[in-house]
A and B are shown apart, each in its own frame.
Chain A
Amino acid sequence: MTPRPLTLITDNWYDIRDLSNLSGKIEELIRDANGPHWAVWVVSALLGAIGIVAFIGGVAIINIWIERRVVGRMQSRLGPNRLGPFGLLQPLADAIKLMQKEVLQPKAADGLVFSIAPIAFTVPGIVIMAVLPWGRNMSLARLDVGILFILAMSSLGALAVFTGGYGSNNKYALFGAMRVIAMLVTYEIPSVLALLGLVLFSGTMDLADMVLFQEKFWIPLVLVQPLPFLIYFISSSAELNRTPADLAEAESEIAGGYHVEYSGMKFGLFYAAELINAVAISAIIATVFLGGWWFYKLDELVPGWMIFIGKIYAVYFLFVWTRGTLPRFRIDQLLAFAWKWMTPMAFANIIVVAAEVLIWDETGASAGLVLPLYIAFNMLFAGVLIVAWVRFMGPRFSRFPDRLRYFDRIDVPSLPAMRAPAPAAAAPKSGSGAPARSASEGGGDLRGGRLVGGPRP
């Protein structure tokens, strides 16, 4: 008899490393008590739902702190550090403050639409969690169209933002809302096509099966498909309105955008739901690209859901990182980037993946031979495609003016204070570049009335 030294998970119901034991025990208890079948269903659904909502509640509280601290550290600030140890109580203080603020609602606003928006913004991020596998047997709802469910739900968030902006009856809010819709319809295409490559490779839309696929072949799909990972990461970050693409709120342009009229707890819900949606998208990426609850042999020691949460936060850190580093894009840059860069790349990726799957099936080669080849080829392909596309699109983007020469040619009108004080000065008051330069060179001061002379030597 060979013992399995690494496996510590038992079948005991109190083993929290696999919570399906617990629900199995409860199911058994109900069946022993001759309970009806629907009671089993209700109890298991209730347990899962409570677990997910508890996780989401924790996320909404703790992520405010994480986000502010990490971004603060990235930008050489401290972040909140006054309330409690390391400022951990800051989110609670924020919540209490927001709850007791006076609720302002403009008279011109559409009351019902205005009030529904923050609630509708929170819901999809939570419902997405239902189809994700949290452990080997731990999906609340194991749908065979899980990917479609996720895509449908993740685009509902933008619709809620539009509702809020439209219902506010404010011009800034409407601009923000229209920008959200433009970004949603643009970035939906690359993200859908990026996930299509994964569905093609694993041959299933069931998220639990996708994790099992990665477990079977001992490989996280991000290695096999690096290009869809990049595309999906960028486009979901745009759909989430996070900072490289937060055109919908854009404080410096449209003064907060869609939530400019919200105050009190409704604003707080928008704020929390943004983080919840970010965690939901991180969870999707962690499931389909990084292998969910599976991590080589680790899931035999550590509970699967703990590995899964660790992966969620690893991806979430990437989101915070981009938020802390990148400046905001202009809307024309952002939309052209989706249509002209990511959509054709996603199509190219689908064709390549389809060819790879076909070759794999037709030759019947072993996975150990095929997968390393595909990893090498796909990484090379992603790099070459990006470089080639930059070259192809290049001339239009690289026509940046050479700053020095460009500014030298501009004829700057002189300010009154810089003009020659004496009317009898030798230099003419306004002339072309050359005489002014010679005058300033001769006099060594600003008597020519110019900060910058003619063309540099």
Chain B
Amino acid sequence: MIEQFGRAGFLLIFAIAFPLIPIAASVALGVFRIRPRKPDPIKSSVYECGMVPVGDALVRYNVRYYLFALLFVVFDVEAVFLYPWAVAYRALGVYAFVEALIFIAILFVGYVYAWRKRAMEWI
């Protein structure tokens, strides 16, 4: 199995090299002065609809994102738990089915709670 993972890692090296080739070509064009390079302070400022940027860009963002992230953690952990269950399901039989039903039912209570609390709405 480690051999197989090693091959995937082998492809990872190629995958990192793949986007580096055009970047390297672009840099080479810059070295040979084919690509223009005339920086000026306005060009290298941040784009903001033609205005001079106001303040820092890393502003506070809305609390709604955190609600979604919390919901995501709940459901994703649950999905990760269900994957091994799905693979071993045929060996375990009725017992596993009832177990998963109870598990999903408990989760469903939380789902309804989150729905009623309007955690799933973008307002």
Q: Which residues of A contact B (CB under 8 A)?
A: 41, 44-46, 48-50, 52-53, 56-57, 95, 98-109, 118-119, 122-123, 126-127, 129-131, 140-144, 147-149, 166, 168-174, 178, 181-182, 185-186, 188-189, 192-193, 196, 199-200, 203-205, 255, 260-261, 264-266, 268-269, 273, 331-332, 335-336, 339-340, 343-344, 347, 350-351, 354-355, 357-358, 361-362
Q: Given that A102-B35, A189-B75, A344-B111 are known contacts, is A361 also in contact with B93, CB under 8 Å in the complex?
A: yes
Q: Whole-angstrom distance from the CB of B111 to the nearest CB of chain A?
A: 7
Residues of B contacting A260 with CB < 8 Å?
Answer: 47
Question: CA separation between A358 and B89, bound complex, in Å?
Answer: 9
CB contacts under 8 Å to A, within B35-84, are 35-38, 41, 43-49, 53, 56-59, 61, 64-65, 68-69, 71-72, 75-76, 79, 82-83
Q: Given that A48-B11, A127-B12 are known contacts, is A357 also in contact with B49, CB under 8 Å in the complex?
A: no
Chain B CB count within 10 A is highest, among A104, A189, A339, for A339
Q: Whole-angstrom distance from the CB of A56 to the nearest CB of chain B?
A: 7
Q: Which residue of B lies closest to A118 (CB)?
A: B19
Residues of A contacting B12 with CB < 8 Å?
Answer: 123, 127
Q: Which residue of A lies closest to B17 (CB)?
A: A53
Question: CA separation between A105 and B19, bound complex, in Å?
Answer: 18
Residues of B contacting A122 with CB < 8 Å?
Answer: 15, 18-19
Q: Which residues of B contact A (CB under 8 A)?
A: 1, 3-8, 10-16, 18-20, 22-23, 25-26, 29-30, 34-38, 41, 43-49, 53, 56-59, 61, 64-65, 68-69, 71-72, 75-76, 79, 82-83, 86-87, 89-90, 93-94, 97, 100-101, 104, 108, 111, 115, 120-123
Residues of A contacting B11 with CB < 8 Å?
Answer: 45, 48-49, 52-53, 126-127, 129-130, 140-141
Number of A-B contacts (CB under 8 A): 222
Residues of B contacting A171 with CB < 8 Å?
Answer: 48, 53, 57, 59
Q: Which residue of B lies closest to A42 (CB)?
A: B10
Q: Are A108 and B45 in contact (CB under 8 A)?
A: yes
Residues of A contacting B34 with CB < 8 Å?
Answer: 100
Q: Are B29 and A99 in contact (CB under 8 A)?
A: yes
Q: Whole-angstrom distance from the CB of B118 to the nearest CB of chain A?
A: 10
Q: Are B15 and A193 in contact (CB under 8 A)?
A: no
A-B pairs, top 10 by smallest CB distance, nearest first, are A332-B122, A185-B72, A126-B15, A339-B120, A265-B26, A141-B8, A122-B19, A45-B10, A141-B7, A200-B86
Q: Are B8 and A131 in contact (CB under 8 A)?
A: yes
Question: CA separation between A201 and B19, bound complex, in Å?
Answer: 38
Q: Whole-angstrom distance from the CB of A183 to the nearest CB of chain B?
A: 9
Q: Are B72 and A174 in contact (CB under 8 A)?
A: no
Q: Which residue of B lies closest to A260 (CB)?
A: B47
Q: Are B8 and A130 in contact (CB under 8 A)?
A: yes
Question: CA separation between A178 and B93, bound complex, in Å?
Answer: 43
A/B interface sample: 19 pairs, CB < 8 A: A103-B26, A108-B46, A122-B18, A182-B65, A185-B72, A188-B72, A189-B79, A196-B82, A255-B49, A260-B47, A261-B46, A261-B47, A273-B19, A332-B123, A335-B68, A343-B75, A354-B97, A358-B94, A358-B97
Question: CA separation between A178 and B53, bound complex, in Å?
Answer: 20
Question: CA separation between A148 and B111, bound complex, in Å?
Answer: 24
Q: Which of B20, B38, B97 meets A102, CB within 8 Å? A: B38
Q: Are B104 and A351 in contact (CB under 8 A)?
A: yes
Q: Are B79 and A169 in contact (CB under 8 A)?
A: no
Question: CA separation between A41 and B9, bound complex, in Å?
Answer: 13
Q: Are A143 and B5 in contact (CB under 8 A)?
A: yes
Q: Given that A199-B87, A269-B22 are known contacts, is A141 also in contact with B4, CB under 8 Å in the complex?
A: yes
Q: Given that A122-B18, A273-B19 are known contacts, is A361 also in contact with B90, CB under 8 Å in the complex?
A: yes
Residues of B contacting A186 with CB < 8 Å?
Answer: 68, 72
Q: Whole-angstrom distance from the CB of B64 to the nearest CB of chain A?
A: 8
Q: Are B35 and A103 in contact (CB under 8 A)?
A: yes
Q: Are A350 and B23 in contact (CB under 8 A)?
A: no
Residues of A contacting B20 with CB < 8 Å?
Answer: 119
Residues of B contacting A192 with CB < 8 Å?
Answer: 76, 79
Q: Are A104 and B43 in contact (CB under 8 A)?
A: yes
Q: Are B25 and A99 in contact (CB under 8 A)?
A: yes
Residues of B contacting A343 with CB < 8 Å?
Answer: 75, 111
Residues of A contacting B43 with CB < 8 Å?
Answer: 104
Q: Whole-angstrom distance from the CB of B57 to the nearest CB of chain A?
A: 5
Q: Given that A182-B68, A343-B75 are known contacts, is A100 also in contact with B29, CB under 8 Å in the complex?
A: yes
Question: CA separation between A196 and B44, bound complex, in Å?
Answer: 47
Residues of B contacting A99 with CB < 8 Å?
Answer: 22, 25-26, 29, 35
Q: Which residue of A lies closest to B37 (CB)?
A: A102
Residues of A contacting B65 with CB < 8 Å?
Answer: 178, 181-182
Chain B CB count within 10 A is highest, among A99, A119, A131, A336, for A99
